[in-house]
Chains A and B, each alone.
Chain A
């Protein structure tokens, strides 16, 4: 760990009257691995955008090696050695791997002509540094997410980066891929590169971060070495309060299943999935991205018709071929991507809430009953405790948490019997998270069967009384309420989720021992 190479002084920025960053002072040292932690909306991404030249600050400065780089645009930052790998990876799908990796370098070298051989050489060299081989001429759109990330890293390296920012790099990766990534990062550190992880998921990063800087509400709350923090104190600094979620216990006595899934399969997505959902159940569907959870949920919602197995609702086999049919069977889905699938951004809260239930708001003359619509919206906004009570507010102006409340509220208006929530608290502040968890508990307690899809063990533990772990399309393991009560279960679940391969072996081994008559 060497001298500071990046120094931010009194950095502030506002957007339309809202202060996003307030007097930030921090420094990044050479060969340091830093973690920028904070809840969504805390300002971490905004900080990175200023450092990388995308935004110009309203006040303050950023200097690298003593010379200022703020307010000069991306090229200046890149020349100073700043590289950012955004969450969307910023790759060009229509261009080849080699071009994506080498383009930035060639541009900055001032080449006007495309030299194929040089591009391939650069690409090959950087991929070697990353330690992986990829087909150079393939279009980037054909790669897996993990490989795309490696291409993004290779591109960043080609620019003689001195500071590499990585925004939420581990979200879409399997354990092995995460391990590979962290190994690469340590490699890079040993060569003098500074790496800044931006994350609110810290399990992996804790292992390698030297320092952790915490943002909250646009302020820098603390600057700690990794040794000084643990998960609890970290959470405390990020959120400003000690958070522990109340767990859910199923109180209902009724054993009749609302929903039965038997041997359900969809080629390419998942196969042989079976489970029952009773009144008051909150079933956790967990596993990493790509395990087939969302695909399963979409099947239950009519957007991904399964090609094998059966679905029974209220004991009767049903075929769900469209969202309308699903809704007629009483199924509700709060989708994974709130912004593109769940909300009408430029419409008011009122119109969003009524969007699902317009039919029931039609008066005698088949016209929309404005008064009924209004009261529904007002009731929902109060029920769900949306901060902004003005139902004419456009939902795109609400915070993530409030937006999600509107989405959940609009589904509650349909009085569903089966409620599926796919990654419901992604990108949501801590306060709203708590409220949404409470809401989920209340829904279940009233007799609704709930399914929560999540890859955060804490969320699963707090909300579910049964858990299904999926991996590569099959059910890896299942747990009941008794298992969940065990104190070490959280860690156990975390391990299973992040390292499903090992668990498969373990499970297979267990099966073999059972078969041979030994007890576990």
Chain B
């Protein structure tokens, strides 16, 4: 019992999340039974979650560095538009011989576009010191604007049939895109835990000034992080486009709110420095299951929005109480994986008074 308590205390948020997910799944399975667990439903769920998963991961990365990336959806749309344009036959006519090459070029174009979008964000934040929320707000509008100019509001159809086939392809009944997403999660998770870059991301989010004083080139960390976000966004775009076989401005608007929801649900600290990839995965499972259940139950989009919004609030309130909860016999919370989502109130321990104003709240100008 004691060791369970300790395990739980090590990562309170993750534990709460596990419980919530388990309970939700049990409820859904009980209520919906076969409809939920059917092969068809499972397959469509894993298909739907794939594109969104990349976006959620991207948002998580941004939040780790104490930022938020409002432009992920419009960057994905733009990347999709660029890729789709290549594959639409409008630039180079599609023939039997060049269709595969064009497809590859299109995919590459989408990825590069995503990374360029990320690069712009990174430069604005690192070199000009625009706060991430404002920088990505501007780029969100800019990317949408570029997409509008390119497409004139029209949808860009894809002329390569094998592309959408790729989007629907399965291996042992599991969609390839789902496998791709899982792979991405594993890679990013590994990167965060075991590489120098990953460590720097956590340290930056925790205290970027101290990181500077440790000799690290902060601007490189930011730019690289946002370029990585851009890559993830590009991948999301590739999947998104293959699923609807076209690209247009305005697609996937609700994804932004949902991405933030997943990341907050996963216990990421909006002020930076805390969050784990595995929590994002759990959050995705939870959200996708609910999303799927809503579809089965035929909730209209407004009810869904109501639920997402209320969930976001509920999750934060729960996190608030979780942060205060101290299971008996618990060891103090640990390293980069720790998730106390809300920074605890500054009740000074008797021994921790410092000379200069310990009273001043030091969130260093990060406004959320």
Show the binding face of A for B, using Cβ within 8 Å.
15-16, 18-20, 40-41, 43, 45-46, 86-88, 168, 171, 217-218, 301, 303, 322-324, 326-327, 333, 335, 337-348, 350-351, 355-356, 358-359, 362, 366-368, 390, 392-394, 396-400, 426-427, 429
**B359 partner, pick from A88, A303, A337, A340, beta carbons under 8 A:** A88
Task: Collect the chain A residues with CB atoms within 8 Å of residue B194's CB.
Answer: 367-368
Question: Does residue B12 face the partner (Cβ distance < 8 Å to A)?
Answer: no
Q: Let me know if B332 and A40 touch, CB within 8 A.
A: no
Q: Let me know if A358 and B217 touch, CB within 8 A.
A: no
Q: Let me know if B195 and A392 touch, CB within 8 A.
A: no
**A18 partner, pick from B202, B274, B350, beta carbons under 8 A:** B350
- Given A324-B216, A347-B206, is A397 in contact with B332 using a C-beta cutoff of 8 Å? yes
Task: Collect the chain A residues with CB atoms within 8 Å of residue B203's CB.
Answer: 344, 347, 351, 355
Task: Collect the chain B residues with CB atoms within 8 Å of residue A362's CB.
Answer: 196
**A218 — nearest CB in chain B belongs to which residue?**
B350
Most A-side CB within 10 Å, residue of B196, B203, B206, B215: B215
Kindly identify, within residues 202 to 222 of chain B, every residue whose CB is under 8 Å from any CB belonging to chain A: 202-203, 206-207, 209-217
Q: Let me know if A45 and B215 touch, CB within 8 A.
A: no
Q: Let me know if B364 and A322 touch, CB within 8 A.
A: no
Question: Does residue B4 face the partner (Cβ distance < 8 Å to A)?
Answer: no
In the assembled complex, the CB of A228 is this many whole angstroms from the nearest CB of chain B, namely 27
Question: Does residue B67 face the partner (Cβ distance < 8 Å to A)?
Answer: no
Task: Collect the chain A residues with CB atoms within 8 Å of residue B333's CB.
Answer: 394
Task: List 26 interface pairs A-B (beta carbons < 8 Å), by A numbering.
Answer: A15-B349, A18-B351, A40-B354, A40-B355, A41-B351, A45-B353, A323-B213, A323-B214, A324-B215, A333-B213, A338-B354, A340-B210, A341-B210, A342-B210, A344-B203, A344-B207, A346-B273, A347-B206, A356-B215, A358-B199, A366-B196, A367-B195, A368-B196, A392-B335, A399-B351, A400-B352
Q: With the chains together, A308 CA to B357 CA distance in Å?
A: 35
Task: Collect the chain A residues with CB atoms within 8 Å of residue B149's CB.
Answer: none
Mark B247-272 against chain A: 1 for CB-CB distance below 8 A, else 0: 00000000000000000000000000
**A88 — nearest CB in chain B belongs to which residue?**
B357
Q: Let me know if B353 and A346 touch, CB within 8 A.
A: no
Mark B333-366 against chain A: 1 for CB-CB distance below 8 A, else 0: 1111010100100011111111111111010100
Q: Let me know if A18 and B349 touch, CB within 8 A.
A: yes
Question: Does residue B244 face the partner (Cβ distance < 8 Å to A)?
Answer: no
Q: With the chains together, A45 CA to B348 CA distance in Å?
A: 10
**A366 partner, pick from B195, B200, B202, B351, beta carbons under 8 A:** B195
Most B-side CB within 10 Å, residue of A346, A390, A393, A397: A346
Q: Let me know if A341 and B213 touch, CB within 8 A.
A: yes
Q: With the chains together, A351 CA to B207 CA distance in Å?
A: 13
Interface size class of B (residues with CB under 8 A): 35 or more
Q: With the chains together, A86 CA to B356 CA distance in Å?
A: 10
Q: Let me know if B359 and A86 touch, CB within 8 A.
A: yes
Most A-side CB within 10 Å, residue of B206, B352, B358, B359: B352
Task: Collect the chain B residues with CB atoms within 8 Å of residue A171's CB.
Answer: 355
In the assembled complex, the CB of A167 is this many whole angstroms from the nearest CB of chain B, namely 9
Q: With the chains together, A396 CA to B347 CA distance in Å?
A: 12
Q: Let me know if A343 and B207 touch, CB within 8 A.
A: yes
Mark B146-177 against chain A: 1 for CB-CB distance below 8 A, else 0: 00000000000000000000000000000000
- Given A340-B207, A427-B355, is A20 in contact with B350 using a C-beta cutoff of 8 Å? yes
Task: Collect the chain A residues with CB atoms within 8 Å of residue B207's CB.
Answer: 340, 343-345
Q: Let me know if A41 and B352 touch, CB within 8 A.
A: yes
Q: Let me know if A399 and B352 touch, CB within 8 A.
A: yes
Task: Collect the chain A residues with CB atoms within 8 Å of residue B196's CB.
Answer: 358-359, 362, 366, 368
- Given A341-B209, A342-B210, is A323 in contact with B215 using a C-beta cutoff of 8 Å? yes
Q: With the chains together, A221 CA to B56 CA distance in Å?
A: 57
- Given A46-B348, A335-B213, A393-B332, is A346 in contact with B357 using a C-beta cutoff of 8 Å? no
**B274 — nearest CB in chain A belongs to which residue?**
A346
Q: Let me know if A347 and B350 touch, CB within 8 A.
A: no
**B338 — nearest CB in chain A belongs to which residue?**
A346
**A335 — nearest CB in chain B belongs to which residue?**
B213
Question: Does residue B331 face the partner (Cβ distance < 8 Å to A)?
Answer: yes
Q: Let me know if A356 and B350 touch, CB within 8 A.
A: no
Task: Collect the chain A residues with CB atoms within 8 Å of residue B349's CB.
Answer: 15-16, 18, 20, 397, 399
Most B-side CB within 10 Å, residue of A19, A347, A393: A347
Q: With the chains together, A346 CA to B351 CA distance in Å?
A: 17
Q: Let me know if B215 and A326 touch, CB within 8 A.
A: yes
Q: Let me know if A429 and B351 touch, CB within 8 A.
A: yes
Task: Collect the chain A residues with CB atoms within 8 Å of residue B336's CB.
Answer: 347, 351
**A426 partner, pick from B209, B338, B355, beta carbons under 8 A:** B355
Q: With the chains together, A411 CA to B195 CA distance in Å?
A: 21
Q: Let me know if A324 and B217 touch, CB within 8 A.
A: yes
Task: Collect the chain B residues with CB atoms within 8 Å of residue A168's CB.
Answer: 355
* 9 closest residue pairs by CB, A with B: A88-B357, A399-B351, A427-B355, A427-B354, A20-B350, A323-B215, A426-B355, A324-B215, A367-B194
**A368 partner, pick from B195, B213, B332, beta carbons under 8 A:** B195
In the assembled complex, the CB of B123 is this many whole angstroms from the nearest CB of chain A, namely 19
**B212 — nearest CB in chain A belongs to which residue?**
A323
**A45 — nearest CB in chain B belongs to which residue?**
B353
In the assembled complex, the CB of B219 is this many whole angstroms from the nearest CB of chain A, namely 11
Q: Let me know if B354 and A356 touch, CB within 8 A.
A: no
